[in-house]
Structure 1
């Protein structure tokens, strides 16, 4: 075994970072902190939970149990910004797999309850993705079907282009950044 490790034929995976299980969702979080973390205050999260018809207690198939308020807070936290699953797991004091299951379960609940209100214009999306692929390939990408970058970096080749009916001087780069802040 030591010969294999010494010759680097395979490596022992280092231990993962520990989740602080003493952390938990705080329903008394001040409004400023809640808005920063979830994009909503706690009272707005309560209203959102009722409006989206999230039950008082959410239970996954794996047996993860969470209050409806914490479930909607978790969903909003995960969608608020790109963050490592570990970061969110640590904030909520739950394991990464549990956070993943709870997030997807809550997202599916919202979708099942409101799918009749969701409109996804597939022809427009397909046309735009084809244009994105072409633009990226013209910049020298080796793959003909590359249309996004998973690390979220903004490069010169993926700057938003102005709309045909845009007011003069519209800056979509700044506008899209403002939406994310």
Structure 2
């Protein structure tokens, strides 16, 4: 053990030769006679000195909105990590946003935050776990007040643009690429896309928010199988009915089995002119679900950095779920292409987070 250093361990971690638990054990053995709190590598970030433009470039949110999110998301005043490193809630949240914002490695964050790579990793994961545990349920249930209150406007707006008067949103699956795993590679391999990845299912509403996110699932899974296992069908039956008992429906592509809560294009080699026109009009409005997927990875480009998404070393599924949640927060504050296209404003950040 004497010839190993923290730098060597970080190299092995990045190369996939160590998992994170092994890294922590070896790190503690190397430094067992030293203080568990690592010394900073440079000056710490002075958040107050940043301009709004700098803050938006670094973290994807303005200065006032970063503080607003910390209050609304109930970010703790400080995080104490496994190695006894301490970070304020503001610093920890900024580290998380910056990590997501670009295709970067931990070494790229050292000059910004004046922290060692191991400290940054621990702080990032602590913040990630808190956000997921505290707010992850907002993407798992359709029993959200903003959804129920928005249904009349969703169906009215979509009814004016397409031939489905009871449609309230759109459903689709997406495959997020990851580094080829070291084992069980066939589970994550998609023969259709010819890449390794994890699959997620999203429901996007006309105000630009992801109303429901299910996953991760194995990359080889078909969208129809993902829908069956997601539990979304039961949620639709439970919550998506009008006061007179009529079902509100989602619209998806041809992969989904048609029922009263999920509809898709008319299938067949020969379709009537009316059916072809129905498919055309629905395809035009359904594209917003792709805009929702694109906004997640455009706002937080790290989620599209497959070289650094390693299944057995990192909680890759949790990364995407938290990224989708933070993207919803971004849409509440700044809107999205879907918001502009349909002309429906999302709820305020406080209404979305506090489910009121």
Aligned-pair distance for 1:21?
Answer: 2.5
In the superposition, the TM-score normalised over structure 1's length comes to 0.62
Q: Which of 93, 111, 119 is the matching residue for 1:98?
A: 119
Aligned pairs for 1:77-116 within 5 A: 77-116=98-137
SS in 1 for 2:190: helix
Separation of aligned partners in 1, 2:82 and 2:137? 25
Aligned-pair distance for 1:166?
Answer: 3.2
In the superposition, the TM-score normalised over structure 2's length comes to 0.33
SS in 1 for 2:87: strand
Aligned pairs for 1:57-76 within 5 A: 57-76=78-97
Quote the residue 2:232 is aligned against.
none
Aligned pairs for 1:25-174 within 5 A: 25-28=45-48, 29-119=50-140, 133-137=190-194, 146-148=195-197, 164=253, 165-167=282-284
User: Does the aligned pair in 2 maintain the 1:20–1:90 contact within 8 Å?
Assistant: no
SS in 1 for 2:53: helix
Aligned-pair distance for 1:79?
Answer: 1.0
Q: Which of 298, 301, 309 is the matching residue for 1:180?
A: 298
Q: Which structure shows the bigger proportion of residues in strand conformation?
A: 2
Separation of aligned partners in 1, 2:117 and 2:188? 36
SS in 2 for 1:167: helix
Gaps in structure 2 of 5+ consecutive residues: 1-7, 12-38, 142-171, 177-186, 198-251, 254-281, 300-356
Gaps in structure 1 of 5+ consecutive residues: 1-12, 138-145, 149-162
The number of aligned residues is 138
CA offsets, 1:25-80, max 9 Å, x none? Answer: 22121000110010012211111111111111111122111111111111111111
Separation of aligned partners in 2, 1:104 and 1:38? 17
